[in-house]
Amino acid sequence: MVVWRVGLPGAPPLGTLDPDILSWCEAKGFILVTNNRRSLPVHLTDHLAEGRHVPGVFVMNSKMSIGDTLKELRMIWGAGDPTDYADLITYLPVTR
């Protein structure tokens, strides 16, 4: 599993707008993990309407601890096929 964070060298800088982050994820083949429940779904809809794609978007749950979120993401990474999440927003947790 490879993890990038906005603001790190090679990743989009802090303050990058959602549409540009989605474009970066599309170009690099990365699934986006975000806590942005408000505007990102709108931007993803626009991105897809332009005929673009993303490997997927996972939206974190504020009621989950960081440890539980990491466990959830490791389970998804280990058990799933990455194409299962293409062009979709998936809200965590996927397991209950």
Q: Per the domain annotation, does 24 fall within a domain?
A: yes
Q: What is the mean pLDDT of each run of 10 residues along the chain (96 residues)?
A: 90 96 97 94 97 96 94 89 92 84
* Domains identified in the chain, total number: 1
Q: What is the DSSP string of 42-65?
A: HHHHHHHHTT---S-EEE--TTS-
Confidence (pLDDT) at 45:
97
- Tokens, residue 33: 């993990």
Handedness of CA 83, 45, 91, 10 (dihedral sign): positive
- Domain containing residue 29: 18-91
pTM for this entry: 0.90
Confidence (pLDDT) at 1:
78
- Tokens, residue 44: 């993803």
Q: Per the domain annotation, does 8 fall within a domain?
A: no
Q: How far is CA 85 from CA 15, 22, 34, 43, 88, in A?
A: 25, 14, 14, 17, 5
